Copies of this chain bind each other. A is one copy, B any other.
Amino acid sequence: MDHGILFDHSRTARIGLPEAVFCEGKPFEALVELLGQFGRGTGRPILFTRLAPEVFDSMTEDMRAGYDFHPLSRTAYGDKLPQKDKGRVAIVSAGTADGSVAWEAARTLEYLGIRHQVFEDCGVAGLWRLAERLGEINSFDAVIVVAGLDAALTSVLGGLTPKPVFGVPTSVGYGVAKGGNAALASMLSSCAPGVAIMNIDNGYGAACAAARVVNGL
C-alpha cells in the first residue's frame, strides 16, 4: 500500500501557512513514511499535530532525533519557519485540563515563527487570576482563549480586550459538557462582540487564525 500524500506545497506562497499533517487516524506506516521525508535539516518545515506520544516513541531513535516533539500538545516539527519581527499572540486558558489544546496553539505559533505567551488557569470562578494578568495580555496583538465547560472566560475576556479574540472550546468535562459542545455553543453565543470561534480542541486552527492577523501587521 502506498501512502504517498499529494502535498499542497504551494500553500505557503498562496496563504502564508505551510501544510500540516493531522496524525490521528492515519495508519502507523503512513506516519513512519511521512516523518521519514521531513525532519530537521531537510529544509522542508512541516508540522505534525495529534501525534500520540506512544506513536512517536515507537519510531526509530534516528527518526525521533530529527524532530522536536512535545508530548502534552502532541506536536512535532523538524525545521521551523524563521521568526517574524512583528506580532505577538497571547494564549489564555481557563484550567489545567485545557493544557493540551493551549499548547497545541503555542507550538503551532512557535513553528510558524510567531512570538507568543501562554497564560494558564485564568478561569472566571476565581476572577482575580485573570484580573492580575489583563494588562499584560492586552499588550499582545491577538488573543487565543482556550476553555471548556461553560467557557465563560470568553465573554469576560472578550469584554476586557480590544484585540482580535479567537475562542477554542475544549472537550474536557462530563455530562452535558462532554465532547465540548456546551463550550462551543457557549462561545458562539458570547455576549462580548466580535469573538470568533474555532472547532472544538482546534488549537492548531486558532494559531493559524492568529497568524493571519499577525501576517497582516
**Residues of chain A having any CB pair with chain B under 8 Å:** 1, 3, 5-6, 8, 10-11, 14-17, 20, 22, 24-27, 30, 71-72, 94-97, 120-121, 123-129, 141-142, 148-152, 154-156, 158-166, 169, 171-202, 204-213, 215-217
* Cβ–Cβ < 8 Å partners of A204 in chain B: 193
Q: Are B125 and A192 in contact (CB under 8 A)?
A: yes
- With the chains together, A138 CA to B195 CA distance in Å? 23
Q: In this complex, what residue of B is CB-closest to A160?
A: B14
Partner pick for A15 among B141, B150, B159, B180, CB 8 A cutoff: B159
Nearest CB on B from A118, distance (A): 11
> How many protomers of this protein does the assembly include?
8
The answer to whether residues A212 and B123 also contact, given A176-B189, A188-B175 and a CB cut-off of 8 A, is no
User: 11 A-B contacts, Cβ less than 8 Å apart?
Assistant: A11-B125, A126-B159, A149-B189, A164-B213, A169-B175, A177-B199, A182-B182, A183-B189, A185-B185, A185-B186, A188-B198
Beyond A177-B199, A182-B188, 15 additional pairs, beta carbon < 8 A: A1-B72, A8-B125, A14-B159, A16-B162, A24-B174, A127-B156, A150-B155, A151-B152, A166-B196, A175-B188, A178-B179, A193-B205, A194-B209, A213-B213, A217-B217
* Cβ–Cβ < 8 Å partners of A8 in chain B: 125-126, 129
Q: Are A126 and B177 in contact (CB under 8 A)?
A: no
* Cβ–Cβ < 8 Å partners of A162 in chain B: 14-17, 212, 215-216
- With the chains together, A208 CA to B96 CA distance in Å? 22
Q: Are A191 and B30 in contact (CB under 8 A)?
A: no
- With the chains together, A163 CA to B214 CA distance in Å? 10
- With the chains together, A155 CA to B199 CA distance in Å? 14
Q: In this complex, what residue of B is CB-closest to A169?
A: B175
Q: Are A196 and B194 in contact (CB under 8 A)?
A: no
- With the chains together, A174 CA to B160 CA distance in Å? 24
